[in-house]
Structure 1
């Protein structure tokens, strides 16, 4: 296979009448077959070519996750052009930087609000010939056109046949915590290799339904798009975060990929609700949770489940876990977790509840997917063995190096940064510290640049501690452990408004976030969780002080990436005064 459009063409020919995509419409969910996808992509691609798209240039997409994003992307790629992805949450200046740095000649924008953003920097976008709006109006000056009006005629197959595996397919700008983001150059072969590697695992079948909500501007979402074309599995697409739980119940998918934050939020909501109700219901939930974790741990050790435990587990499933499974539609075979570390506590809870999470690992620079646990060998605390064809080695300093066809071509127009990221023989320096177990499964211990070294010379892995504290207190949204070059570790925590508000109401506590965060009862709940985690840690990594922040970390404030990872440098910059106050007395 030579390109993603060639892969799509092969899929259309192989299973023309099978469902490809399902998406929300005014009358409910509607579907497109693979042949209908081909019929939508063909004229749009030829129309984009007439407007200037083609080999060796780029077209930017500024849009949230929806089926129109996928169709536009496939059409852009079919012209031989590469897609530049832009997060819809980006500011006008950030959009202008990505568009100009990539050299994009067209921009596909979701709606009039995104067009207005581009209009505000139009003078800076000298190379942009047109903006094509999905939901919006064309402009009188001709700069903005309706995407639905774009259509053309010509030899579509010849255009697709001209694309080579080495041609650039995607420019994805990484969410840097310092300086400008870097454009990662990924070729058609990069994506085809990674997509086929996932297919070789034989995880997916004809009866599966994939639910996609992840940002398609992110490499994780893009990989899932390619995998489903390769495997011929239908995808239900809706990027609205507030609709995830509702959509799961309605669509009844068999699998879904997500960042750990989504699983943490589900767990915390359920745990907080049952704790608030108290009485028999809380006791039954806590008993079921303990029973499920006991079974999950036995499975991890490869031990048989005693008959009495099987009976208890069956009862726990009937009373508690079956209801949780129903919230996800009742057909989930597994979840896939990526983009950030999944805590063992979350893995054990969901596995015990009959909702196994397969943790994986990859970087934008490795086409998103490099390692993945398998259902039969799902080892908590690891990201599994490499995907077929992926190579791995551990450097002398513990850094994980990845090789294979999925590794990026380089950073766009940044030869020095490319040289820093790739070894002389083309292996990717991940920046993560890890180790391989006896079965070749990778365990990431922390980010190379994020390891905390206290003033006493001790190294601390912050994400490990953060995950444990979040699991111990259902009212928390984020935990940020700090202590680099300090004489002890401290933490910033944020509250999950959806979970903590009902609890505060039930307990007669102030609902105002500013008052609640300083209330002694709220602080006691957080302190209890920290004490519980501290009891398992060496003294040098225990949390000595903490503060509850007035607002959560968000993508909009720049404290989270689009895949919901915390930008540590940004958080330190935003809350430096609070962090410094922890050490004022000891300085």
Structure 2
């Protein structure tokens, strides 16, 4: 078997046709002297046929480069990563797929996976797809009630958990449902060996038949939304949703994953659709994929894996910055760090001007690079060419900071219903403050109410067993309603202004988007979470929780004794620091939108207390209900109706 032509599943030679076209924007409107697009159509760079499923992309990757590394697995002892070739991974997938068939799972059956991000999840995903199954993720932090709901709604036939404890939770859920026909396995208790043993007598031709029976219209997964507004909805995502987006993303941004030196370390939860898309994207390119199950090991793993690009949520970037600032301590070191941070921001801002950075700024940047930036770059492995941030808005200052120190930050935006990414800034042109242009082949339109509407092949099929919710999520002419408010500039770049359902209307009739105040405040080292309140109230206020990890460092750096969260919540110096942070955030909004009062809570928002989703989004409605008395106390009583 040659490196370039392994003996694999036969594929048609013309499985993918490529056509290049130019973007076509729709109508535009001039607002305050600036042209705003009302609609933007991204180019379709790659057209696929019905055979271009996820297993098809894997087989093509193996045919291109069977002997090149595809996966890097960290050895249990030490910091060494062991490469697995494309052919080796493909063989593991085939053996596991045969095992799943051997367990009695029929074409189209649902298999639930409940685990942290690790190699076995990716293996089970691809094996399930090759066996014609439907892998359904369950967050490893899910409650028994949530597990029960997913098993019932998706009609799950097998559950594979990471731990024995999780398996026991699933067993309890099955008993409550009266389901004794469900296979339950745990990775900690030889699940993979059990599966492989079950496949010994299954001919590989049976796996091939299952794989070849798939089309792009078949379901690839059902991903249950985080549930910020109630019971989770099962988002139906097809093979075509994944593959059309992945291939077009490769054609549009080949510098990310089409180079043989591309390296992605996956640490985001694979229960989330964004991470699921990333594994398909990376494995269908030319690079290597690694996994970090425990984020406590993230920095050491980044240092040894040396990723070529990072995909993170803003909270990770805020933590890195705040940790670097805190560890600089007091006095001279802290002054040097903050000077270097300001230089990075100014340098990035200057890059956006026709003149570029001045000679003096270039000299300052070179000095700051030697003293500070090089150390931060080494923190993430020293090999990263850029960072892609998504999942929540990021402050423009932090975006300029990372770009200025030599890690260009590309902010993006996406939803479960769009297989993750909807738009993202590109290395060729990044506009800080926007979330970039739509990824091919998506189209974006702004409704009369300012809501972002989308249409295209990567938009989900519908909500599982919920036709009413599906119908309510689309306009009459077939555009998906994102629920986000925003705008398009003349180049088709998307700017997010907030969630439609989160808009606060004060007693004076002023519309306030909470995100414009919450996002900059979350960048402060003392702050963990912020929820802006004030609906039907005379002014805007904010509920703030403290970051327990950063608090002690902050206190030490400010010459204060250690104290508990409860003590810090009423400490005059802590409150003064928070008030100064609020004043800075208020500089970017009108007086009617500004925060007038804050209340520091003594308990953080977590998944365990029901105030965060598994993807770490704040459940705003739950927070408002839980702290209704605190909010009423801020305003001297409940809302006066009439």
Please indicate the TM-score interval, normalised by the length of the shorter structure: over 0.9
What is the match of residue 180 of structure 1? 231
- Indicate yes or no: 2:285 matched with 1:231: yes
Matched, 1:525 2:577: yes
Aligned equivalents of 1:490, 1:145: Cα separation in 2: 56
Pairing 1:58–2:110 present: yes
The equivalent residue for 1:151 is 199
Question: CA 1:116/1:224 → structure 2, altered by over 3 Å: closer, same or farther?
Answer: same
Any idea what SS the aligned residue of 2:411 has?
A: strand
**Cα separation, 1, equivalents of 2:562 and 2:163:** 39
Residue 145 of structure 1: how far off its partner (Å): 8.9
Q: Does 1:271 align with 2:325?
A: yes
Which of 218, 226, 243 aligns to 1:192? It is 243
Report the equivalent of 1:132.
185
**Within the alignment, does 1:33 sit opposite 2:81 as a pair?**
no
1:555 and 2:635 matched:
no
Of 103, 114, 120 in structure 2, the residue corresponding to residue 68 of structure 1 is: 120
Q: Which residue of 1 aligns with 2:313?
A: 259
Cα distance between partner residues in 2 of 1:456 and 1:480: 20
Q: Partner of 1:141 in structure 2? A: none
CA contact (8 A) 2:484 2:496 kept: yes
Shift of 1:27: 2.6
> Could you tell me whether the CA contact under 8 Å between 1:132 and 1:147 is conserved in 2?
no
1:275-302 Cα deviation digits (max 9, x unpaired): xx22221221121111111111112234
Give, in whole Å, the separation in 2 of the partners of 1:584 and 1:491.
Answer: 15
CA contact (8 A) 1:252 1:329 kept: yes
Aligned with residue 158 of structure 2, among 79, 83, 106 = 106
Of 483-492 and 531-540, the range deviating more from structure 2: 531-540
Supply the distance in 2 between the matched residues of 1:291 and 1:160 (Cα, whole angstroms).
54
Residue in 2 that maps onto 1:371 = 423
Question: Which residue does the alignment assign to 2:400?
Answer: 348
CA contact (8 A) 1:366 1:406 kept: yes
Q: Equivalent of 2:61, from 11, 29, 35?
A: 11
Q: Could you tell me whether the CA contact under 8 Å between 1:384 and 1:441 is conserved in 2?
A: yes
Find the partner of 1:243 among 294, 297, 313: 297
In structure 2, the residue matched to 1:325 is 377
Secondary structure of the structure 1 residue equivalent to 2:187: strand
CA distance in 1, matches of 2:611, 2:541: 18
Q: 2:53–2:215: 8 Å Cα contact kept in structure 1?
A: yes
User: Which secondary structure state, in structure 1, belongs to the residue aligned with residue 615 of structure 2?
Assistant: coil
CA deviations on 1:161-210 (whole Å, 9 max, x unpaired) are: 11111000010000112331000000000000111121012122111211
Taking structure 1 as the reference length, the TM-score comes to 0.95
Question: 1:83, 1:170 within 8 Å by CA — same for their partners in 2?
Answer: yes
Correspondence 1:90-489 to 2 at 5 A? 90-125=142-177, 126=179, 128-136=181-189, 146-147=194-195, 149-152=197-200, 153-154=202-203, 155=205, 156-200=207-251, 201-204=253-256, 205-274=259-328, 277-471=329-523, 473-489=524-540
1-side partners of 2:630 and 2:318: how far apart?
Answer: 26
Q: 1:585 to 1:418 in 2, by over 3 A?
A: closer
* 1:95-141 Cα deviation digits (max 9, x unpaired): 01011100111111111011111122231341742012211268xxx
**CA deviations over 1:349-389 (Å, ceiling 9, x no partner):** 11111112111111111111121100121111111011121
Residues in 1 aligned to 2:309 and 2:393: alpha-carbon distance in whole angstroms: 19
Question: Root-mean-square deviation (CA), in Å?
Answer: 1.8
- State how far apart, in whole Å, the 1-side matches of 2:184 and 2:354 are: 57
Q: Is the 8 A contact 2:242 2:458 kept in 1?
A: yes
Question: How many residues get paired?
Answer: 579
Change (3 A) 1:295 1:9: same
After TM superposition, which residue ranges in structure 1, 4 or more long, deviate above 6 angstroms? Answer: none
Give, in whole Å, the separation in 2 of the partners of 1:556 and 1:194.
34
Query: How do residues 536-547 of structure 1 correspond to structure 2 at under 5 angstroms?
Result: 536-547=588-599
* Conserved? CA contact 1:134–1:146, under 8 Å: no
Q: In the alignment, which residue of structure 1 is the partner of 2:4?
A: none
Question: TM-score normalized by structure 2?
Answer: 0.87
Q: Which has the higher contact order (CA 8 A, sep 6+)?
A: 2
Q: State whether residues 99 and 196 of structure 2, in contact with CA within 8 Å, keep that contact through their aligned partners in structure 1.
A: no
Contact 2:95 2:196 in 1 (8 A): no
List alignment gaps of at least 5 residues for structure 2. 1-50
Give the direction of change, closer, same or farther, for the CA distance of 1:573–1:301 in structure 2 (3 Å limit): farther
* Structure 1 unmatched ranges of 5 or more: 139-143
3-state SS of the aligned residue for 2:420?
coil
* Alpha-carbon spacing, 1:350–1:52, altered in 2? closer, same or farther (3 Å): same
Distance (whole Å) between structure 2 residues aligned to residue 107 and residue 75 of structure 1: 14
Following superposition, the deviation at residue 148 of structure 1 comes to 5.2
| Number of the residue aligned with 2:22 | none
